[in-house]
Structure 1
């Protein structure tokens, strides 16, 4: 239907678009404050959950699994790993415990294809996301450390 040259140019366009998005993300990461990096993790987590819900609803089980795995990695390798348990006191420990719970629940949601567990993980994280975003202006103004 399409010429090989046309197909090749479509592939190149997709590669360029992917590279452009990658550069945009890398630039955002390089320029982001520590507070903004955590905000980006929260946003990525919530987006991955929304994707998982959509994939599950449409029967795309493999893509649902990938989205839930991404959400779990964000929690484990991003949010939980960024905690300072030594100096963070009870709050850091409570967040650590919450993140461990979320990782278990995300795994269960994946194994059982259970949208209610995905919704639970979203509900548990939503207040933290909102609170983190709410303190952003104060952090950026240097009023919080």
Structure 2
């Protein structure tokens, strides 16, 4: 009985995310990627604390996937120059550290990666007005 209601709620949430993605600006999509990665890291921390190894691994895999399949490919290395190159290196570092966190059961590393993602998300949000101006032009 509960599983049907829960799957309905999950389906509703997926539709909400899909709708948000379809209507989002490129700038907003990057924000959503940062938020998704941070949420996955938070889930990994929770599962680590609860001793739920499989769920922790899934959450870490999701965070790595968001970084490697979402954030890194979004970089424009030609136009972004040194900043894009440094972000690319940072994303690679974060992916490696997340793998290490999974193998070593390290909450400290998860906290480190969440801090890096939070800093990047905050910086990205700070340029929102400029991104809106560029999109309007």
TM-score by length of 1: 0.87
Gaps of 5+ in 2: none
Q: 1:45 to 1:19 in 2, by over 3 A?
A: same
Q: Following TM superposition, by how much is the alpha carbon of 1:137 offset from its aligned partner in structure 2, in angstroms? A: 2.9
Say which of 66, 71, 76 aligns to 2:63.
Answer: 71
Contact 1:56 1:64 (C-alpha < 8 Å) held by counterparts: yes
Task: Please point out which of 26, 32, 52 is paired with 1:40.
Answer: 32
* Alignment size in residue pairs: 137
SS of residue in 2 equivalent to 1:131: helix
**Larger radius of gyration between Structure 1 and Structure 2:** 1
- The structure carrying a bigger helix percent of its residues is 2
Q: Alpha-carbon deviations, 1:100-129, whole Å to 9, x = none? A: 011100000011111111111122222111
Give the structure 2 partner of residue 58 of structure 1.
50
Q: Which has the higher contact order (CA 8 A, sep 6+)?
A: 2
TM (normalized to structure 2)? 0.91
Structure 1 residue runs of 5 or longer lacking an equivalent are 1-6
2:82 alignment counterpart: 90
